[in-house]
């Protein structure tokens, strides 16, 4: 088969184990072929749109290889579904504390399709990010195959480890462009016994940022702080009947502690606006919606069941998705509201997580949106903006990830040529020509 026909047919290579992965990458390097590194392809539409000769699909490298709840540690092969791991650790009253988001609903895919490898390759996190960290903060060790087709390991299986460079962290967010993970060890933590959410109603974005800052900076261990402006709140079933902007503060832990903290927080915030509550069930539904960006989920996205990796809905659903793009912006928490103001000038909508620092934006697919968003980020004191959902041509025409300055860009290119000198692994997924 020639490379050209392989590319056109989008061939999938499905190695059975780590040795297969290494052999396949070595072959590709020697033959000048390119591989798009994937788990179960649930996030294939994330990143720059690229064409490779083959997709290297790691779904067969599946299964938990070590789980010791009393040691707070779990190892699994990279293709293991995140949902399987979440269910296993929940059985021991534990969790992945960084609350990894599921991109499925947002990208028009099934929910629950992501793999552990994809989770680290995309450095996923959720509403607990400010207090608990992201995937990067919970990855203890990796085994991986670099673009040289060599198997290497880094890190270990213990929580506290400074032996050698922290490659598990360094490769978090590398989107498969440096190495294909084959096995990952993560830290797990006890699940909170219960959860409640204190709501402040009717605040504008700036007032909400102030309230969230006061709450997160208080003694009362707020483990989630999100603000949903009125236009978005109306579309969220978890907030049905409220009809106004909602600023949500999550309290997790043991019941006596939550009662205590709720009382204190009420006293702290009462002057800022009308208060309301979500009980445990309503809280879980609300924070799942924030985590998975359900207010902007594609119609039909997030259904459970059916074949993984397949697009949900038909051409209409796709056209609907493509008409409005999704951006994810991270700035200093108090600067978030400025991003929201900027995107509203062009008909965009947004909501905020991470006490205001994470801005999820849905806006019309018109030019020049990238410069508008990135200029707003720069004017707000810096951060990063990623184009999360857009039609392939849109993702091919502009920088999807926050552009690197010249010096850092050159550094990253040198790293890439060290790990993947032949440019085998997902070339162009993050940055053009790399």
Partner 1 sequence: MSGLVMPAPKADLLARRAEIVAALRQIVPGEGVIDTETEMRPFESDGVTAYRQLPLVVVLPSTTQQVSQVLAYANANGIPVVPRGAGTSLSGGALPLADGILLGMGKFNRILDIDFENRTVVAQPGVTNLGITTAVADHGFYYAPDPSSQIACTIGGNVGENSGGVHCLKYGLTTNNVLGVEMVLITGEIIRLGGKHLDSGGLDLLGVIVGSEGLLGVVTEVTVRILRKPETARAVLLGFPSSEAAGACVAAIIAAGIIPGGMEMMDRMMVHAAEAFLGAGYPLDVEALLIVELDGPEAEVNHLIGRVAEIGNGLGCMTLRASTSEAERVAFWAGRKAAFPAVGRISPDYLCMDGTIPRKALPLVLSRMEEMSVKYGLRCGNVFHAGDGNLHPLICYDANTPGELDKAEAFGADILLLCVEVGGVLTGEHGVGVEKRDLMPSMFNEVDLAHQQRLKCAFDPEALLNPGKVFPVLHRCAELGRMHVSAGKLPFPDIPRF
Q: Is 91 in the site for partner 1 (CB under 8 A)?
A: no
φ and ψ of 221, to 5 deg: 45, 60
Cis peptide before 368 (omega within 30 of 0): yes
Q: Is 334 in the site for partner 1 (CB under 8 A)?
A: yes
C-alpha to C-alpha distance for 172 and 40, rounded to whole angstroms: 18
Residue number with CB closer to partner 1 (179 or 312): 179
C-alpha to C-alpha distance for 386 and 373, rounded to whole angstroms: 9
Where helices occur in 72-145 by DSSP H, the ranges are: 82-90, 104-107, 116-121, 129-132
Q: Is 125 in the site for partner 1 (CB under 8 A)?
A: yes
Q: Which of 157, 272, 318, 344 binds partner 1 (CB under 8 A)?
A: 157
Binding segment for partner 1 among 122-130, 225-233, 286-294, 310-318 (CB under 8 A)? Answer: 122-130
- CB 72, min distance to partner 1, A: 6
Q: Is 26 in the site for partner 1 (CB under 8 A)?
A: yes
Q: Are β-strands 54-57 and 11-13 bridged in parallel, bridged antiparallel, or unpaired?
A: parallel
Q: Is 259 in the site for partner 1 (CB under 8 A)?
A: yes
> 287, 385, 392: which is closest to 328 by C-alpha?
385
State the number of binding residues for partner 1 (CB under 8 A).
110
- CB 201, min distance to partner 1, A: 22
Binding segment for partner 1 among 156-164, 199-207, 287-295, 296-304 (CB under 8 A)? Answer: 156-164
Q: Is 358 in the site for partner 1 (CB under 8 A)?
A: yes
Q: Which two tokens stand for residue 426?
A: 């997902």
Q: Which of 39, 117, 333, 427 binds partner 1 (CB under 8 A)?
A: 333
C-alpha to C-alpha distance for 36 and 426, rounded to whole angstroms: 4
Instruction: Render 254-314 in DSSP notation, one character per residue.
Output: -HHHHHHHHHHHHHHHGGGSEEEEE-HHHHHHHHHHHHTTGGGPPTTTT--SS-TTPBPS-
Q: Is 415 in the site for partner 1 (CB under 8 A)?
A: yes
Q: Is 172 in the site for partner 1 (CB under 8 A)?
A: yes
> 262, 294, 264, 134: which is closest to 194 by C-alpha?
262
Residue number with CB closer to partner 1 (68 or 231): 68
Q: Are β-strands 189-190 and 94-95 bridged in parallel, bridged antiparallel, or unpaired?
A: antiparallel
Q: Which of 7, 49, 86, 189 binds partner 1 (CB under 8 A)?
A: 189
Q: Is 270 in the site for partner 1 (CB under 8 A)?
A: no
C-alpha to C-alpha distance for 195 and 207, rounded to whole angstroms: 25
Q: Is 279 in the site for partner 1 (CB under 8 A)?
A: no
> 408, 112, 137, 414: which is closest to 288 by C-alpha?
112
- Neighbouring residues of 369: CB distance < 8 A, sequence distance ≥ 6: 325, 327, 346, 363
Residue number with CB closer to partner 1 (305 or 405): 405
Sign of the CA dihedral with 126 first, then 137, 93, and 261 last: negative
- CB 242, min distance to partner 1, A: 27
- CB 4, min distance to partner 1, A: 16
Binding segment for partner 1 among 77-85, 199-207, 300-308, 330-338 (CB under 8 A)? Answer: 330-338
- CB 38, min distance to partner 1, A: 12
Q: Is 49 in the site for partner 1 (CB under 8 A)?
A: no
> 396, 409, 397, 369: which is closest to 385 by C-alpha?
369
Site string for partner 1, 366-385 (x = CB under 8 A): ---------------xxxxx
Q: Which of 152, 276, 303, 396 binds partner 1 (CB under 8 A)?
A: 152
Q: Is 351 in the site for partner 1 (CB under 8 A)?
A: no
Q: Are 198 and 251 in contact (CB under 8 A)?
A: yes
Residue number with CB closer to partner 1 (214 or 341): 214
- CB 41, min distance to partner 1, A: 11
Residue number with CB closer to partner 1 (175 or 349): 175
- CB 141, min distance to partner 1, A: 9
- CB 269, min distance to partner 1, A: 15
3-state secondary structure of 406: helix
Window 218-237: residues binding partner 1 (CB under 8 A): 218-221
| Length in residues, the chain | 434
3-state secondary structure of 31: helix
């Amino acid at each position: 088969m020639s490379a050209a026909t392989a590319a056109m047919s989008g061939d999938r290579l499905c190695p059975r184990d780590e040795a297969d992965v290494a052999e396949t990458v070595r072959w590709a390097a020697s033959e000048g072929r390119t591989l798009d590194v994937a788990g179960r392809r649930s996030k294939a539409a994330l990143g720059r749109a690229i064409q490779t000769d083959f997709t290297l699909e790691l779904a067969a490298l599946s299964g938990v290889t070590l789980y010791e709840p009393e040691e707070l540690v779990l190892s699994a092969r990279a293709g293991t579904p995140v949902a399987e791991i979440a269910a296993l650790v929940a059985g021991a009253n534990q969790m992945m504390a960084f609350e990894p988001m599921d991109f499925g609903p947002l990208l028009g895919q099934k929910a629950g399709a992501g793999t552990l490898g994809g989770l680290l390759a995309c450095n996923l996190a959720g509403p607990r990010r400010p207090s608990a960290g992201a995937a990067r903060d919970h990855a203890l060790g990796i085994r991986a195959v670099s673009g040289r087709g060599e198997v290497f390991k880094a890190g270990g299986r213990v929580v506290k480890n400074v032996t050698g460079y922290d490659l598990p962290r360094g490769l978090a967010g590398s989107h498969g462009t440096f190495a294909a993970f084959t096995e990952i060890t993560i830290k797990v933590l006890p699940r909170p016994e219960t959860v409640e959410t204190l709501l402040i109603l009717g605040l504008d974005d700036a007032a909400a940022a102030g309230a969230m800052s006061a709450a997160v900076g208080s003694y009362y261990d707020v483990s989630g702080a999100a603000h949903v402006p009125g236009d978005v709140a109306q579309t969220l079933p978890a907030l049905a009947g409220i009809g106004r902007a909602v600023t949500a503060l999550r309290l997790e832990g043991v019941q006596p502690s939550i009662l205590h903290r709720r009382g204190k927080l009420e006293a702290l915030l009462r002057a800022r606006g009308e208060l309301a509550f979500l009980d445990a069930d309503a809280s879980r539904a609300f924070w799942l919606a924030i985590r998975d960006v359900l207010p902007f989920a594609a119609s039909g996205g997030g259904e459970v069941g059916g074949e993984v990796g397949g697009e949900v809905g038909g051409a209409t659903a796709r056209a609907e998705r493509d008409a409005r793009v999704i951006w994810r912006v991270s700035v200093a928490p108090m600067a978030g509201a400025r991003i929201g103001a900027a995107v509203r000038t062009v008909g965009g909508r947004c909501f905020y997580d991470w006490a205001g620092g994470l801005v999820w934006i849905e806006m019309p697919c018109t030019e020049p949106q990238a410069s508008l968003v990135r200029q707003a980020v720069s004017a707000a004191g810096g951060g990063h903006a990623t184009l999360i959902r857009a039609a392939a041509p849109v993702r091919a025409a502009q920088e999807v990830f926050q552009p690197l300055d010249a010096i850092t860009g050159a550094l990253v290119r040198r790293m890439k040529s060290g790990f993947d000198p032949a440019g085998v692994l997902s070339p162009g997924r993050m940055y053009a020509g790399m």
